[in-house]
């Protein structure tokens, strides 16, 4: 099959030459060739593994069977997919060549064919088969006759081998069930690395049997037991997902020092941090005590986590304690260590030797790079693509996180267009392979187990697609169309990203009706970047993350849909679009009046009035802008521009997301 | 304080003599004496334990602190309640006399006083203090000035010492996070026994280290590890909740026999049951093999569960295998055992001896009673109050579950008015103490982890009140008013009873808008009792419980509110109520038209049309009935009666809940 033909097929969803179904696959496969027929779904649907039916693959297939049954309500007769009976006539037949291992670079490719009322999956490994099974679930379609699978052929494989999600359980702990449901979400979009950020200034989140004061004194009682870690690893492995631990050192380490102040570069005592940002406490890289401790500790953790990659953090050491320590300064002079970066390199080399002893490969943030360090290390780039390419150019394996910071509340499209290896990348061919992929990072300053899913999903599915699918798949509207569908699919895995918004709103409304609040929150997003920390409230680990900016979600669909509507109108000038904009604005204009009554009995909802009042004004301006009977004088334009600017300048914890679209309407108003 | 004065105060919420706040306490305390002032909530709110600050109580108080902060968004400065510092000026000051033990009959009483801007809790045990702290959270009120606590004095203690919730993890397994969030829900309404029904024909749900084929072959891989059981017990104990295990024997035992067919009364092999109802497989009570096994097994489990009460089930042995076994019949003849009941008694006596050896008290369903059995056993009554009183009269401790079968989808009021010890009970004074309380039973034929919470909550809060509060607290409207408030409070504990309905509806709607479906589902409830099994679908352990009757919840609020509205109108004849009924019916009449378009792309929503079409007719009838311009002839009445009868006779999986109210309107139409 010729690549160009496939490309045309890929982008012909909207205007098919024959009755080609609109698919909501995400990530989009490398090759899709559409057929003409359909395979109707019935209660007789069965699944069988015809070759190499491992327990793991059978369990996966059973879950897929139940999910399809749950969506369709078909009452499948088959209970489980078992490895003791092969049914060659099964509706879904799976064959693999070997089990495969949950490890970096394992073959995840698959071939999937639907024809003659049979779905046929073939894959080198069971992990490839798992990826194919997720595609099958996404392929389930509906028409007026019911559920069906479209006839087609898919050949698929990932573009990058490292497609990760970092969850920071340090700043706000996330219990095992949060981790598990997110592992299910990752599997659904074919991600394959869970990066657990296990230690932070704000908490040490794993049980250590040899240094128990780490978790006992370094957490508020919230940490994973080793049994739980084993269960997380087993659960992830069952889904072909690696689990990489991170223990941030030498900085971001306050929580270690509460129980073991002897590791620190300054005398204690230390406390668990409750504020955020870069803190001073840092391990003492000149003390043998530190290395005895870390050798033992790394040994314990290396045995617990089977993955060969072991993340040591290494970021954001501000050097304050090192600069202030006479003994450290003396050590540096005596050992000709010129600066803190070199001192940290000295520390890293020690750590690297421990890791090598335990047969682990060192992973760290950009800061761990130094000339001459072993080529065996892997660098996670938070600084950006220049750093990424430099590492790759210097012969280091590396993966990208800059641009995938999902905690910063940017829209999915920003992450989606952030390609670790864009067409114009500067790397020579023999270095391209050093770019392993990327990782979305869910830092947890401002999230709780109640809100975390709404910060990860659905946007992370767009990152998953960037890391799996060919680079030329990058249409914004098409991505969002599929993202909205996938978002609802993800709910069946127990993810809370959609359902929990109402919970927060009901609490904010003090149990009253939430219709108006829900209309409002659709037009708001939490402010982007790190701006929430500068909006008049002091946010700590124990702040109530139960307020309006917590209920608001990044990349809110109503505001985004309105933006698209305005874009379409400005391009086409079509009257029906103008009318749609008009109606929408007239509807949103009323939110304020509807909200006022409930705020009397709901102090937390009072905040909403500031936004709804502005939205009332914005909508009035928008209505005027699209009004055909009104002459839009320069004076009117100047006046409303001032108003729009004023709204933009408001220092609040949420942004009103329709300002840009209104501005665009004003700009072209005649 | 005189009981009559209190009684008057209790029932004067609606017409207070001074500005007395409407409270949403549930269970309602034994004594409430209202003051006149208010304690305003500020960010300076602090909590301190002034005496006997155990870790457990401090953890509990910290959770309460965070919940109040989450509700109010106050940004409390205090991070945790610690036992190393006492603050006598704390806004909430707690003192206890001793820690207390999580065991039957432990003192749970407390005294709570709010005055002079301080909340003061005093309790004999930390468990009493925990109950008080839940009362504090429920006392948080809102007025136009913000959050406050009303000044008052509460003296409270439970009416019954055994206030349980049974969760059947046998038929559908429920993972540990489901159990944990329900433990939080139980604590919020002061329940104190979690009864885990751990073995069933459909699954053996706990790891046995000495008989591993129990969980390995007797479950589909879904069971609690012993580590998880320990964690459940720890979590429950942290909340003053006992955990009682149940291993159902000798019947309901298919899952044991898959791995150990030698225990059975008929030759194997056995399979895990997927259908429901009473099954034949039963243990062989005549074989020494059985007793060696059970002795060892009970020993293992007795060591795992610290609670002295150990439930052996004992219910629903149909005797089929015993009747068919020549060797068993021979054994009965040789040992002068007259019938199967006597044979089971013989079995029970053996089990009792094992339990006594391990210092456990035997608990079982009604069937375990036999004349002469040790007075040390406890009988759980599923058969009804006659059985309950008979057991109590005969000197046995007993508690009620008949009438608390929350799986049967009856309204909360039915359970609420079901008093284990009604005023007209027949027991002599010295036997009254044998009635320990009751247990709601969440049998799991028709629930999944997605729907279980909506079957337990909020209705179980009404049962919790019945078992905690004085018997004379039994006003229906007042109960429902508080129940609706508590329902929303329970969400903050992670309970899914409200939020998951939308998830099911979005899936049913295949991702389309759910407004109309949501309006419809508010008027539907799953059919009551065991009727869903007779409605044309064959329900098994692996049926898709993702359809309309699963999204529908028992005791639906919109239908109930309409019933109250119609009752009020029929009593008062007030024109504004008539108008309200008219508007409501006109609104619901439109559901059908709104639903039709979405069903084209949502096969599972098609089912909804049958209901919405009937609702359209019902509303039309209702509108006619309350129409003042219409003469309601006998012929009209006869015609609509036939129509209403026809709707009532429909054999569907849901019931339309407004039929009764419409019938009442028709009856009085002139």
**Torsion, CA B125, CA B126, CA B127, CA B131, rounded to 10:** 110
Asked if residue A314 belongs to a domain, the reply is yes
Shared domain check, B143 and B72 = yes
Mutate to test the interface with A, among B532, B542, B547, B607 (most CBs of A within 10 A): B542
pLDDT at B2 exceeding the cut of 80? no
A197 phi and psi angles, rounded to 5 deg: -85, 95
Buried b (16+ CB within 10 A) or exposed e, B309-323: bbbbbbbebebbbbe
Q: What count of residues does chain A have?
A: 670
Residue A114's H or E segment, with its range, is: strand A110-115
Q: What percent of chain B has pLDDT over 90?
A: 94
User: Which has the minimum average pLDDT: A108-112, A614-618, B202-206, B314-318?
Assistant: B314-318
CA A595 to mean position of chain CA atoms: 33
- Identify whether residues A373 and A239 lie together within a single domain: yes
Q: Which residues of A touch B274 (CB under 8 A)?
A: 79
Tally of domains in chain A: 3
Spatial contact of B121 and B51, defined as CB atoms under 8 Å apart: no
Answer yes or no: do A73 and B600 touch at CB < 8 A.
no
Same domain, yes or no: A266 and A190:
yes
Average pLDDT over residues B189-217: 98
Please give the Cα distance from A524 to A558 (Å, whole number).
Answer: 9
Q: What is the structure's pLDDT at B4? A: 44
Closest chain A residue by Cα to residue B74: A544
Percent of chain A with pLDDT over 70: 97
Question: Where does residue B116 rank: exposed (0-12), middle (13-18), buried (19+ CB within 10 A)?
Answer: exposed
* Claim to verify: residue A426 and residue A565 sit in the same structural domain: no
| pLDDT tens track for A199-242 | 999 999 999 999 999 999 999 999 999 999 999 999 999 999 99
Closest to B199 measured CA to CA, from B171, B221, B222, B178 = B171
Is the model's pLDDT at A15 over the cut of 80? no
What number of CA atoms fall less than 13 Å from residue B190's CA on the CB side?
36
Residues A202, A95 within the same domain: no
**Chain B: nearest CA to A74, how far in angstroms?**
7
Q: Which of B63, B604, B605 to mutate to test the interface with A (most CBs of A within 10 A)?
A: B604
Distance from CA of A370 to the nearest CA of B (A): 41
Specify whether B447 is located in the same domain as B522: no
Interchain proximity A146–B603, CB inside 8 Å: yes
Q: Is A146 within the bounds of a domain? A: yes
Residues B86 and B195 both lie in one domain: no
Average pLDDT over residues B116-129: 97
Which of these three, A99, A131, A156, is where a domain ends?
A: A156
What are the tens digits of pLDDT across the range A241-265? 999 999 999 999 999 999 999 999 9
Active-site residue (options: B115, B228, B316, B580): B316
Handedness of CA A124, A130, A132, A136 (dihedral sign): positive
| Spatial contact of B205 and B198, defined as CB atoms under 8 Å apart | yes
Q: Which pLDDT does position B14 carry in this prediction? A: 43
**Which band of pLDDT confidence, cut at 50, 70 and 90, is reported for residue B209?**
very high
d(CA A532, CA B348): 65
User: What number is the average pLDDT over the span B431-440?
Assistant: 98
Residue A130: domain span: 3-156
Report chain B residues whose CB lies below 8 A from the CB of A496.
499
- Residue that the structure tokens 């040490």 belong to: A204
Contact B69 A542 (CB under 8 A): yes
Please name which of A670, A376, A652 lies closest in space to residue A526, comparing C-alpha atoms: A652
User: pLDDT band for position A14 (50/70/90)?
Assistant: very low
Q: What pLDDT, on the 0 to 100 scale, is given for residue A21?
A: 79
Give me the active site residues of A, please. 316
Residue B535 lies in a domain: yes
Beta-bridge mates of residue A309 = A361
For residues B77 and B190, membership in a common domain is answered with no
Residue that is written with structure tokens 């159902």 in the block = B248
Contacts of B496 in chain A (CB under 8 A): 499
Question: Using the beta-carbon criterion (under 8 Å), do A221 and B59 form an inter-chain contact?
Answer: yes
User: Looking at the domain assignment, is residue A74 inside a domain?
Assistant: yes
CA distance B39 to B150: 6
Give the Å distances, CA to CA, from B585 to B514, B558, B591, B626.
20, 12, 10, 10
Per DSSP, helices labelled H in B224-287 are 226-237, 254-259
pLDDT at A472 over 60: yes
pLDDT tens-digit map of A153-209 = 999 999 999 999 999 999 999 999 999 999 999 999 999 999 999 999 999 999 999
Q: How far is B665 from chain A (nearest CA, A)?
A: 28
Q: Are A622 and A665 in contact (CB under 8 A)?
A: yes
Last residue of a domain, one of B489, B513, B537: B489
Mean pLDDT computed over B365-392:
94
Same domain for B320 and B233: yes
Q: Taking the mean position of all CA atoms in its chain, how far away is CA A368? A: 24
Q: What angle do CA B63, B66, B69 make, to 5 degrees?
A: 150
> Which residue among A112, A134, A156 closes a domain?
A156
Q: How confident is the model at residue B630, as a pLDDT?
A: 84
Q: Which of A72, A75, A496 sits opposite B537 (nearest CB)?
A: A75
Task: Check whether residue A606 and residue A658 sit in a common domain.
Answer: yes
B624 and B645 together in one domain: yes
The predicted structure's pLDDT at residue B18 = 53
pLDDT for the residue B305: 98
Chain B residues within 8 A of A142 when measuring between CB atoms: 510, 601-603
DSSP assignment of B288-311 equals: HHHHHHHHHHHHHHHHH--SSEEE
Q: Please tell me the least confidently modeled range out of A35-44, A63-72, A336-345, A622-631.
A: A622-631
What pLDDT score does B340 carry?
A: 96
CB contact under 8 A, A601 and B142: yes
pLDDT confidence of residue B55: 95
Element (H, E) at A102: none
Q: Which residues pair with B638 in a beta bridge?
A: none
DSSP type of residue A19: S
Q: Is residue B102 part of a domain?
A: yes
Burial class (CB in 10 A: 0-12, 13-18, 19+), A591: buried
Q: What is the CATH number of the domain that holds B247?
A: 3.20.20.80
The arithmetic mean of pLDDT across residues A408-433, rounded, is 97
Query: Tens of pLDDT along B153-189?
Result: 999 999 999 999 999 999 999 999 999 999 999 999 9
Is pLDDT above 70 for A1? Answer: no
Residue A401 in tokens: 């996180």
Residue of B nearest to A148 (CA): B603
Are B297 and B366 within one domain?
yes
- Residues in chain B closer than 8 A to A450 (CB atoms): 494
**pLDDT value, residue A19:** 61
pLDDT band at A343 (very low <50, low <70, confident <90, very high): very high
Which of B70, B484, B502 faces A499 most closely, judged by CB atoms? B502
DSSP A63: H
pLDDT exceeds cutoff 90 at A630 = no
Chain A contacts of B75, Cβ < 8 Å? Answer: 537-538, 543-544
pLDDT value for B20:
73
pTM exceeds 0.90: yes
Q: Specify the pLDDT at position A660.
A: 96
The residue in chain B having the minimum alpha-carbon distance to the alpha carbon of residue A225 is B227
Answer yes or no: do B507 and A70 touch at CB < 8 A: yes
Q: Rounded to 5 degrees, what angle do the CA atoms B592, B598, B603 make?
A: 105
Asked if residue B335 is part of any domain, the answer here is yes
Which residue among A70, A545, A604 places its CB closest to the CB of B546? A70
- Long-range contacts (CB closer than 8 Å, 24 or more residues apart) made by B569-573: B569/B626, B570/B664, B570/B665, B570/B668
B663 within domain boundaries? yes
Give the helix ranges, DSSP H, for B166-287. Answer: 176-188, 213-218, 226-237, 254-259
Q: Read off the pLDDT of residues A18-74 as tens digits, 9 standing for 90 and up.
A: 567 799 999 999 999 999 999 999 999 999 999 889 999 999 999 999 999 999 999
Contacts for B216-219: CB closer than 8 Å, 24+ residues apart: B216/B259, B217/B258, B217/B259, B218/B255, B218/B256, B218/B258, B218/B259, B218/B272, B219/B173, B219/B255, B219/B272
In a domain, B494, yes or no: no
Tell me, what's the pLDDT at A215?
98
């Amino acid at each position: 099959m010729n690549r160009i033909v496939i490309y045309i097929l890929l982008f012909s969803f909207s205007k098919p030459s024959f009755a080609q179904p609109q698919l909501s696959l995400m990530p989009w496969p490398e090759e899709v060739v559409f057929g003409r027929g359909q395979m109707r779904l019935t209660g007789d649907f069965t699944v069988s593994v015809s070759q190499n039916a491992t327990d793991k693959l059978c369990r996966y297939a059973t879950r897929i069977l139940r999910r399809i049954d749950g969506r369709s309500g078909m009452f499948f007769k088959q209970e489980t997919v078992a490895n003791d009976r092969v049914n060659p006539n099964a509706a879904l037949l799976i064959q693999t060549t070997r089990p495969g291992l949950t490890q970096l670079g394992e073959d995840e490719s698959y071939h999937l064919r639907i024809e003659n009322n049979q779905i046929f999956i073939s894959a080198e490994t069971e992990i490839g088969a798992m990826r194919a099974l997720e595609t099958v679930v996404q392929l389930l379609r509906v028409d007026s006759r019911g559920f069906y699978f479209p006839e087609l052929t898919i050949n698929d494989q990932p573009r990058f081998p490292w497609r990760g999600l970092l969850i920071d359980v340090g700043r706000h702990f996330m219990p095992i069930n949060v981790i598990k449901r997110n592992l299910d979400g990752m599997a659904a979009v074919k991600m394959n690395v869970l990066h657990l950020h296990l230690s932070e200034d704000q908490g040490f989140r794993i049980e250590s049997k040899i240094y128990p004061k780490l978790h006992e004194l370094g957490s508020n009682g919230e940490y994973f037991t080793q049994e739980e870690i084993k269960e997380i690893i087993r659960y992830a492995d069952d889904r072909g997902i690696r689990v990489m631990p991170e223990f941030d050192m030498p900085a971001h380490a306050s929580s270690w020092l509460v129980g073991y102040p002897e590791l620190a570069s300054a005398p204690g005592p230390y406390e668990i941090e409750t504020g955020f940002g870069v803190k001073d406490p840092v391990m003492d890289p000149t003390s043998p005590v530190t290395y005895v401790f870390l050798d033992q500790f790394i040994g314990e953790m290396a045995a617990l986590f089977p993955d060969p990659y072991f993340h040591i953090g290494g970021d954001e050491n501000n050097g304050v304690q090192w600069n202030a320590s006479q003994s450290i300064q003396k050590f540096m002079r005596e050992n000709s260590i010129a600066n803190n970066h070199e001192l940290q390199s000295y520390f890293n080399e020690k750590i690297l030797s421990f890791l090598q002893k335990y047969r682990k490969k060192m992973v760290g943030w950009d800061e761990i790079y130094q000339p001459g360090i072993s080529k065996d290390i892997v660098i996670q780039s938070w600084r950006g693509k220049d750093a990424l390419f430099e590492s790759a150019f210097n012969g280091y394996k590396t993966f990208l996180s800059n641009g995938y910071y999902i905690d910063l509340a940017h829209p999915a499209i920003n992450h989606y267009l952030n390609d670790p290896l864009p067409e114009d990348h500067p790397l020579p061919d023999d270095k391209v392979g050093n770019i392993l992929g990327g990782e979305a990072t869910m830092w947890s300053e401002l999230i709780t187990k109640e809100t975390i899913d709404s910060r990860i999903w659905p946007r992370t599915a767009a990152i998953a697609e960037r890391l799996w699918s060919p680079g030329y798949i990058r249409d914004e509207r098409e991505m969002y169309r599929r993202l909205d569908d996938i978002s609802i699919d993800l709910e069946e895995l127990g993810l809370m990203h959609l359902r929990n918004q109402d919970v927060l709103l009901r609490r904010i409304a003090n149990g009253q009706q939430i219709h108006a609040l829900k209309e409002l929150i659709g037009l708001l997003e939490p402010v982007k970047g790190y701006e929430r920390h500068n909006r008049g409230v002091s946010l700590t680990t124990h702040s109530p993350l139960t307020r309006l900016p917590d209920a608001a979600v990044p990349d809110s669909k109503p505001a985004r849909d309105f933006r698209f509507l305005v874009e379409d109108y400005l391009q086409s000038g079509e009257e029906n679009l103008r009318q749609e904009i008009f109606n929408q604005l007239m509807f949103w204009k009323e939110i304020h009046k509807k909200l006022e009554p409930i705020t009397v009995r709901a102090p937390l909802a009072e905040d909403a009035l500031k936004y709804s009042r502005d939205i009332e004004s914005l909508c009035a301006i928008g209505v005027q802008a699209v009004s055909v009977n009104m002459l839009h004088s320069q004076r009117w334009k100047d006046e409303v521009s001032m108003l729009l600017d004023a709204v933009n300048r408001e220092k609040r914890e949420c942004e009103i997301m329709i300002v840009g679209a209104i501005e665009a309407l004003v700009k072209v108003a005649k």
